[in-house]
Amino acid sequence: MNIDFEGRRIILKSKTIWLTKTQNNLLKLIYNNKGRVVTYKEMVYEIYGTECDRLLKNLIRRHIVLLRRKISKHIEIKTVRDVGYIIEEDLK
């Protein structure tokens, strides 16, 4: 498996998983901080360039749900309740 952040895709042996711009940016942020919880505040600032509020926090959650649907067999993004997300281990 190869993650191509520039091309917004994950390349597998048998297929390519395409990511939206937001999904790609979220995955890149969480993946590059493997082993550390990335907070909602960090994600909102990185993606939207503004302070975190409830609406944007919920929007981040929705993007993570959609991202997980695409990549859950290959990369596990864990939720740290009311804090953010983490990728704990190396890729599957």
pLDDT band at 90 (very low <50, low <70, confident <90, very high): low
| Global confidence as pTM | 0.90
- Encoded amino acid at 69, one letter: R
pLDDT digits (tens, 9 = 90+) for 66-81: 999 999 888 999 999 9
Distance in angstroms (rounded) separating the CA atoms of residues 49 and 45:
4
Fold of 2-86: Arc Repressor Mutant, subunit A (1.10.10)
Q: What is the domain partition of the chain in residue ranges?
A: 2-86
pLDDT digits (tens, 9 = 90+) for 16-61: 999 999 999 999 999 999 999 999 999 999 999 999 999 999 999 9
91 pLDDT more than 80 = no
Task: Return the number of other C-beta atoms located less than 10 Å from residue 13's C-beta.
Answer: 5
If you search the block for the tokens 């864990």, which residue do you land on? 78
